Amino acid sequence: MEEHQENAPDNIEPIQDTLTHNLPVEIVAQVFIHFVDAFQPFRWGEDYERRESDFYWAPTLVLSAVCRNWRSIAVVTPELWTSPNIEMYYDGERDTVIEVLGLWLDRSRDLPLHISFIGNDDWVFDYSYWEPVFERAQASSERWESLCLDINRNAWQFFLKEFTCPPCLRRIRLITPEVEEEERQVHDIADFLLSSSSGRLEELRLENLSWYEVSVDWQNLLAVEAVSWNVDDFGWLLGHAPRLKKCRLLDNDSRGRHSPLAHSHLEDLELQDTTLSNIIRWFTFPSLRRLVFKPGRTRWSPRDRLSQMNHLRSFFIRSQCLLVELEIQVPFKTTANLVDILAHLPSLERLTLDFDRNSRDHSVLWPSNESFAEHLKFFTLSKLLPQLKVFKILGELTFSWSALLPFLERPPQGNVTSMLKICVYVQFWLYFSSQQESEDYIDRDVVFQLKDLERKWEG
């Protein structure tokens, strides 16, 4: 907004005779709200990335720049102005930031706010210059529902000065740059203290922070996302957050050895770039409904593969959970290992076999082509998982299109009557570099053969 303010009148086109211009304002406003909501920084399950562009950060401004008609609708739609993102990078911008922030606060009226502070990672950056911005934002803290602090620890002393956590706050995301332990001790700002009024806090996300660096009412938390925690940290969380339903761990390591623990409320567990074996070896989740495990760039020996799959099978047997969704990157030697696990998940509705597209380790490739269908075919999968609705295989060149043919092979005639008529969505993703042509991987006869299989499956 600051970069484009001088040319704003020229960039805003006159009203055009379009279909949207003829629609009622209420309908256009609802479309705008759904568009803006899709870009909110507090959507669960989406990786956080810093946005340098004001327009990328603020889709509301994109809508406002299309034409005068759209701008007039956006200005009077308070739902579009509830997520101000305050960027603090350069001296000389403070007054403009305060003015723009005031505009967002006024246009959002009395609606709950989802506010973000994004700052410089440099330790010598002087945040005292931005203290008036903090004060202006805190004047509306009684409306804060979500708070994101993506700033250096040095800024906390200015942000936290005489600050009490508003009772309406539901979600907090704290992101700090990685620092050495000596730096934490020198600056003596390792504790981020929230007042006791944060008893209604339901969602907490931490990056480069441990549980002992925050003081919150863990008893009421429903969702936690954390980066760089170990097994003991995870065990501490489960022991102190009895209502926890959703947990997402990124870059977790295998250090620590926790006593066996069962958590009765956890329904959603996501582990990325982490070690699965220690988690599933020490913890039991009888209420688990969704499990996502993506170990990242890991070399798998044949022994490791078998060990990982055995741990996973034992985990499901021990938990006795009614899992609905499973997404894994754990490699298996043959599909027989996968079938052995799926036999314990009759309630499964969505199954995704993923592949780390950034890895150069070919040992993590799924068995390709006909070898995949050696132990797993469409009709065996549908019998094994009678509730299955979605089956996806994601990866880079892990399958050729001809691999679909043996997988979709029609069952023996005697088994057709015992089949349940279910709908399974199979998705094969192939990625090609600019030098590669898709024709090199897709047989021209495959389409006709698939059509023939479709006719055979009818009825």
Report d(CA 78, CA 112) in Å as an integer: 10
Q: What is the mean pLDDT of residues 78-103?
A: 85
Which domains, and CATH codes, for the chain? 1-81 (no CATH), 83-221 (no CATH), 289-459 (3.80.10)
Percent of the chain with pLDDT over 70: 61
**pLDDT(83) > 70:** yes
**pLDDT(38) > 50:** yes
**pLDDT(254) > 60:** no
pLDDT in tens, 162-199: 677 788 888 888 888 776 454 444 344 444 545 444 56
Report d(CA 279, CA 123) in Å as an integer: 35
Q: For position 415, what pLDDT does the model report? A: 53
**pLDDT(242) > 70:** yes
Asked whether 232 and 256 are in contact (CB, 8 A), the reply is yes
CA nearest 36: which of 70, 67, 87, 5?
70
**pLDDT(154) > 80:** no
What separation in angstroms does the CA of 248 have from each of 137, 294, 404? Answer: 29, 11, 33
Report d(CA 218, CA 242) in Å as an integer: 8
Q: What is the mean pLDDT of residues 350-372?
A: 57
Least confident of 143-152, 249-258, 321-330, 383-392: 249-258
pLDDT in tens, 45-64: 444 444 433 433 567 777 77
CA nearest 238: which of 292, 283, 289?
283
What separation in angstroms does the CA of 403 have from each of 235, 371, 374? Answer: 42, 9, 11
Q: For position 345, what pLDDT does the model report? A: 93
Q: State CA 242 to chain mean position distance.
A: 23
Between 228 and 436, where is the model more confident?
A: 228
What separation in angstroms does the CA of 135 have from each of 115, 132, 442? Answer: 13, 5, 60
Q: State CA 246 to chain mean position distance.
A: 12
DSSP, res 76 = T
Between 430 and 334, where is the model more confident?
A: 334
The average confidence (pLDDT) of the chain is 72
Q: For position 53, what pLDDT does the model report? A: 37
DSSP string, 201-239: --EEEEES--GGGEE--GGG--EEEEES--HHHHHHHHH
Q: For position 201, what pLDDT does the model report? A: 84
**pLDDT(444) > 60:** no
Q: For position 189, what pLDDT does the model report? A: 42
Paired strand residues for 292? 270, 327
Report d(CA 118, CA 175) in Å as an integer: 9
pLDDT in tens, 272-325: 765 656 777 788 899 999 998 877 655 555 566 667 778 888 889 989 999 999
**pLDDT(359) > 70:** no
**Confidence bin at 397 (pLDDT 50/70/90):** very low
Q: For position 1, what pLDDT does the model report? A: 40
**pLDDT(389) > 50:** yes
Asked whether 385 and 342 are in contact (CB, 8 A), the reply is yes
**pLDDT(217) > 90:** no
Find where tokens 């070399």 sit.
299
Q: What is the mean pLDDT of residues 404-422?
A: 60
What separation in angstroms does the CA of 353 have from each of 42, 142, 299, 324? Answer: 27, 45, 18, 15
Q: Judging by beta carbons within 10 Å of its beta carbon (0-12, 13-18, 19+), is residue 445 exposed, middle or buried? A: exposed
Q: For position 428, what pLDDT does the model report? A: 53
DSSP, res 435 = T
Q: For position 344, what pLDDT does the model report? A: 92
Between 28 and 359, where is the model more confident?
A: 28
pLDDT in tens, 98-133: 988 998 999 899 999 988 888 876 655 677 888 888
Strand positions, DSSP E, 152-310: 171-175, 192-193, 203-207, 214-215, 223-227, 246-250, 261-262, 268-272, 283-284, 290-294
Percent of the chain with pLDDT over 90: 9
Q: Tokens in use for 171?
A: 């979600």
What is the Cβ-side half-sphere exposure of residue 316, based on CA atoms within 13 angstroms? Answer: 23
Asked whether 96 and 90 are in contact (CB, 8 A), the reply is no
Q: For position 126, what pLDDT does the model report? A: 75
Which among 13-27, 138-152, 209-223 has the top mean pLDDT?
138-152
The model's pTM is 0.73
Least confident of 25-39, 88-102, 258-272: 25-39
**pLDDT(432) > 80:** no
At CA 80, angle to CA 78 and CA 83, rounded to 5? 105
Q: Judging by beta carbons within 10 Å of its beta carbon (0-12, 13-18, 19+), is residue 94 exposed, middle or buried? A: middle
**pLDDT(424) > 60:** no
Between 372 and 205, where is the model more confident?
A: 205
CA nearest 237: which of 218, 215, 220, 259?
218
